[in-house]
Structure 1
Amino acid sequence: MACGSCSTGKDGQPKGCKNNGTCGSDGCNKLTVFDWLSNMELPQGVAPFNYVEVRFKNGRKLFFENSEHLTLSIGDVVATEADSGHDIGIVTLTGELVKVQMRKKKVRTNSDEVKKIYRKASQKDIDIWQDYRAKEDPFKVKARQIAIRLKLKMKISDIEFQGDGSKATFYYTAEERVDFRQLIKEFAQEFRTRIEMRQIGFRQEASRLGGIGSCGRELCCSTWLTDFRSVTTSAARYQQLSLNPLKLAGQCGKLKCCLNYELDSYLDALNNFPKQDTKLFTEKGKAVCQKIDIFKGSMWFAYEGEWMNWFELSTDRVHQIIEANKKREPVASLEDYVVETASEINTFKDSVGEDSLTRFDKPKNKRNNNKRRRNKRQKSKRPKNNSQKK
């Protein structure tokens, strides 16, 4: 099913964005904000907020002033002001929630960043917009071929045409500085439009392209996440995760953003743990921490020189030993503070009583079986002696 801004075309497929019913995973519902004030009316004498939020390709959103006081609703296609010419976008939010979003993103109403809405897009505007949107994929292939021919160490990930086709923005990623002066000249000759090169990071590239993560769901950066915070390996260390780059890296090649989701909970839980480099002094010897379990609230210690024997202690008992060491009170051994766990021995019980777990452990002696078969065959071939003794 299509979104509200798409009209139905042939065979029941939606027009417009050409997502053909996959609006939840592609364009129309990307980074949406639910308008929970849509059913509420403003008090008398209060003028409606005269700014709207407009979405462009791949979830790019900007705020615009409704200077003409047009009657706009979510899903309307509008022509907006651009640096040169006009652009075409879809209204995603109106009313008082736009004020909240602008305050959240620190955008002022009287700043130069906020441009104006010209009009609601006519059918001619939409046709020109769709024609240039259809040219983006073949142009992207040609642009990559030109960059490879010029031997530039860059990757062109996406192209976005302005609504009137007067400008094309090329999004690229590169690890080093790229001299693309010759590239822009060839692009201008090939595509016959004004060229703008915009470098983005690897996380921004993944958010624009989208995809499915290792959890089986759509990427957070392409659906709802807008704040790209830095993720370090210390987040994995605090959560006791193995530092395997194949498992910790996302589709962008960087550490997964979801490593920061539960980090605050782990840090709060680690406040109750003593430092791992703390040594416990007992009459039996010094003990060093080998492992911790945040969920159980347990720590494993081993004596120096006896690294194979670990003793599980709760954090409360570890604090007791540390306090005793500070007061220089004698502590006999760690065995007195070990957490008591009921050991369960799992034995195999056959419900039928015929099978055995070790029935396949010993291989059968094929040679003895073959000898027995040969002896039986020879005995069966021998002639029977029917003569009677006199």
Structure 2
Amino acid sequence: MSTAPPTDETKASPMKYVVRCGSLRTLHVATSKSSFHYGEKVIVRTDRGMETGEVLVEATEHTLSHMTNPPGGQILRSLSGDDVNDLSHISDQGRKEFDACKRHIHRLGLDMKLVDIEHLFGGERVVVYYLADKRVDFRQLVRDLASEFQTRVEMRQIGVRDEAKLLADYGDCGKPVCCNTHLSAMPPVSMRMAKLQKATLDPSKISGRCGRLKCCLRYEFDTYEEMQRELPPPGAQVLTRDGKATVIFQEILAQQLLVQTEDNRRVLIDVSDVLSVVQKKPAGDNRSSSKSKKKQNSKNLDTPSKAEGEENL
């Protein structure tokens, strides 16, 4: 019995890898006919052009399930010795382009701060990263730069967190900043996260290199929330082995409670010593909440809004 020759459909499909590319360390899902390993430097063709990248992991279904619409690409080859020399030349050229761009911005009197310039490996474009509080008319700047650099110029406005991602080196912890290493997206961070973790509220100590709240405050927040749900809230009435007590403070990580007993002693107990929660909310909370709600409703009824006042006039 003869066997049919393999067709294009029966050939193995190309392998896919997650590759980190560009100054902003964007994650791409790139195809390849060859296999690569973690950390290998490669040349990738993306929608921006030909650029260098770093292979992170094979793009399995599980990996892709954690990514949202990642841009595609194609791995062309591993980084060679000649490519390394070309990158060194591009780096030197980038410094000159940065100085030239800064000079043109000053000459045109543009209200913008130049942050960084990225010259793609293939030379298809130069990306100018800048900060600006207001809208900037940079059309003349683009024309001047394109004429001088002899390539396409792309202007990209960024925020202070992206500025740190481009320029920052080490954080207060002594390690490289998260935004410039493993983070692919900036997580939302709030003061509530700092308060729940009993972190100091001194802005100078909980702010990162970007001046915003540190991204690491987000890492353990979900665990803190889950552990806090296991504890009675402050003000709750609990029944312990030694009688009734009122919760004053929670030690979330230690899973302990500071309680005040009926004879006004303050004792630190384990959550396992709580037999039952007699009253979860402190007495008077509902009444206080109801009174506040009535007061607010009364205020809303008695005081017309600004728009209503203008219509009456």
The answer to whether TM tops 0.5 is: yes
Q: 2:224 aligns with which of 262, 266, 270?
A: 266
Paired residues of 2:246 and 2:261 also in contact (CA < 8 A): yes
- Separation (CA, whole Å) in 1 of partners of 2:257 and 2:191: 23
**What is the rounded CA distance, in whole Å, between the counterparts of 2:256 and 2:201 in structure 1?**
22
Q: Is the 8 A contact 1:54 1:89 kept in 2?
A: no
Q: Which runs of 5+ in 1 are unaligned?
A: 1-44, 281-286, 304-308, 327-390
Q: What displacement does 1:89 show?
A: 2.2
Q: From the superposition, tell whether residues 129 and 87 of structure 1 become closer, same or farther in structure 2 (CA, over 3 Å).
A: farther
Q: Describe the superposition over 1:268-326 as per-residue Cα deviations: whole angstroms up to 9, x where unpaired.
A: 2322333335589xxxxxx98764433361235599xxxxx873454656956638x99
Counterpart in 2 of 1:6? none
**For residues 36 and 231 of structure 2, what CA distance do their matches in structure 1 show?**
54
Q: Secondary structure at the match of 1:182?
A: helix
- Normalising by structure 1, we get a TM-score of 0.54
CA offsets 1:196-233 (integer angstroms, 9 cap, x no match) = 01223333332233411111111122221223210000
Matched, 1:87 2:44: no
CA contact (8 A) 2:233 2:250 kept: no
| Structure 2 residue aligned with 1:358 | none
Residues 165, 232 of structure 1: alpha-carbon distance in 2 compared, 3 angstrom cutoff: same
1:199 maps onto 2:157 in alignment? yes
Q: Distance in 2 between matches of 1:54 and 1:215?
A: 27
Would you say the 8 A contact 1:212–1:218 is kept in 2? Answer: yes
Counterpart of 2:66 in structure 1 is 104
- Over alpha carbons, which structure has the higher Rg? 1
Q: Secondary structure at the match of 2:185?
A: coil
Query: Which string of whole-angstrom CA distances, capped at 9 and with x for unpartnered residues, describes residues 245-283 of structure 1?
Result: 101100011111111222122212322333335589xxx
What corresponds to 2:16 in structure 1?
51
Q: Aligned pair in 2 of structure 1 residues 143, 269: CA closer, same or farther (>3 Å)? A: same
The corresponding residue for 1:78 is 43
CA-CA distance at 1:189 after TM superposition: 3.8
Report the equivalent of 1:356.
Answer: none
Please, what TM-score do these two structures have when normalized by structure 2? 0.65
Please tell me whether the aligned partners of residues 22 and 51 of structure 2 are also in contact (alpha carbons under 8 angstroms): no
**Change beyond 3 A, Cα 1:257–1:122:** closer
Distance in 1 separating the partners of 2:158 and 2:218: 22
**Preserved contact between residue 42 and residue 55 of structure 2 (Cα < 8 Å):** no
Q: 1:46 to 1:182 in 2, by over 3 A?
A: closer
Aligned-residue sequence identity (percent) comes to: 29
Which letter maps to 1:62?
Answer: H
| 1:272 to 1:145, Cα distance in 2 relative to 1, 3 A | same
Q: Which amino acid aligns with 1:65?
A: T
Cα shift at 1:53: 4.3
Is residue 16–residue 31 contact of structure 2 (8 Å, CA) maintained in 1?
Answer: yes
Q: Structure 2: 5+ residue runs without aligned partners?
A: 1-9, 239-244, 284-313
Which structure shows the higher strand fraction?
A: 2
Aligned match for 2:206, one of 236, 248, 251: 248
What is the Cα-based RMSD across aligned positions, in Å? 3.9
- Report the Cα distance in structure 1 between the residues aligned to 2:144 and 2:277, rounded to whole angstroms: 74
* Cα deviations by residue, 1:30-87 (Å, 9 ceiling, x for unpaired): xxxxxxxxxxxxxxx9836433444434434423334xx4x4544464362545xx41
Distance 1:61 1:262, change over 3 A: closer
Change (3 A) 1:120 1:292: closer
- The one of 200, 220, 230 equivalent to 2:178 is 220
C-alpha distance in 1, partners of 2:101/2:261?
A: 62
- Cα deviation, 1:323-342, whole Å, max 9, x if unaligned, reads 8x99xxxxxxxxxxxxxxxx
Which residue of the other structure, out of 287, 294, 297, is the alignment partner of 2:256?
Answer: 297
